[in-house]
Amino acid sequence: MELIRFEFNKKYALPPLAVALGHFDGLHLAHRELIGRAVAAAKETGAKSAVITFDPHPDYVLKKRPPAGYLTPLPLKRELLASWGIDYLIVAPFSKELAELEPEEFENAVLASFDIKQIVVGFDYRYGRGGQGDGDRLKNKYPVIVVPAVTYQGEKIGSAFIRRMLTTGDMTAVRAMFGRYYEIRGKVAFGRGRGRLYGVPTANVVVSEDYHAVKKGVYAVFVTARGARRFGVADYGVMPTFALDEKPRLEVHIVGFSESLYGEEITVEFARYLREEKRFSDEKDLIKQIRRDIEAAQKIREEL
């Protein structure tokens, strides 16, 4: 898959395209349905498949919500889309000026830069000033497939729904809507070494602000390091027993693994929320709780 950083006022000499349009933060099951339609349309028409999306997220540029990271930062989005069979990922820079374009101006500024044979959008896709443009309007110029809502427990699957579930710790719902576990990738940094002293060595993961945070607390997780996927327990939060951190941090204990991972990138998949963070009166109580957390996680592992 080729990544193209879109430039305005440029005509692209790409093959004919079947295009999926959207923001696609999360690449959840509804996105997968839509993008799958674009891949299928490309095969049917002899075109190549493409996703046209925007960065930064329009919500952040237009201040519809405070910046809080992404469900799928661009490197992960790129990896997933390639695995789904997309040929081109076209990322257009989003700005207030772009948001103010009339629908026809948007079509001319972005879509007309490509030889588009088919467009696929969600039922709620909007573009142009005030969201005046939609799938029906696009049909005036292009063959368009409008994909209906995909639901989970009666509610439309969408990035906002998933973010809400992340903040409540409902990782079962998150996985059901993603079709995979929510993951965070980061490099392992030097920590204070307390875990190793307690007999439960931990990896301190540097979490980029590009990721949407999970609820503070303890999780059963899967950890991929050095090409192997292992089970573990993670604590995301401020470590209240020691009251040393204001900014949340991610510490991961990999069950049955004690090698140093300093400087290496690992992937942490959040499988199940176990409990909230709490402050312990002394280190002995903390160690007992850590061992209970590991036991609880291992029991849950059989269900995952």
Does position 241 have pLDDT exceeding 60, yes or no? Answer: no
CATH of region 2-156: 3.40.50.620
Percent of the chain with pLDDT over 90: 76
Domain with CATH 3.40.50.620 in the chain: 2-156
Spatial distance between the Cα atoms of 121 and 147, rounded to a whole number of angstroms:
6
Residue 197 pLDDT: 60
pLDDT (tens digit, 9 = 90+) per residue, 141-182?
A: 999 999 999 999 999 999 999 999 999 999 999 999 999 999
Cβ-contact 258, 226 below 8 angstroms: no
What are the backbone dihedrals phi and psi of residue 219, each rounded to the nearest 5 degrees, phi first? -130, 150
Specify burial of residue 256 (Cβ count, 10 A radius: 0-12, 13-18, 19+).
Answer: exposed
Residue 247 pLDDT: 80
Domain with CATH 2.40.30.30 in the chain: 181-301
Cis peptide bond N-terminal to 15, omega within 30: no
Looking at domain 181-301, what is its CATH homologous superfamily?
Riboflavin kinase-like (2.40.30.30)
Half-sphere exposure of 169 (CA within 13 A, CB side): 15
Q: Which of 30, 11, 12 is nearest to 20 (CA)?
A: 30
Helix (H) or strand (E) holding 184: strand 182-189
Q: Which of 88, 82, 92 is nearest to 27 (CA)?
A: 82
Work out the pLDDT band at 301, boundaries 50, 70, 90: confident
Residue type for position 30: A
DSSP one-letter string for 221-271: EEEEETTEEEEEEEEEE--TTTT--SS-EEEEEETT-----TT-EEEEEEE
pLDDT (tens digit, 9 = 90+) per residue, 103-155?
A: 999 999 999 999 999 999 999 999 999 999 999 999 999 999 999 999 999 99
pLDDT (tens digit, 9 = 90+) per residue, 43-62?
A: 999 999 999 999 999 899 98
Residue type for position 110: V
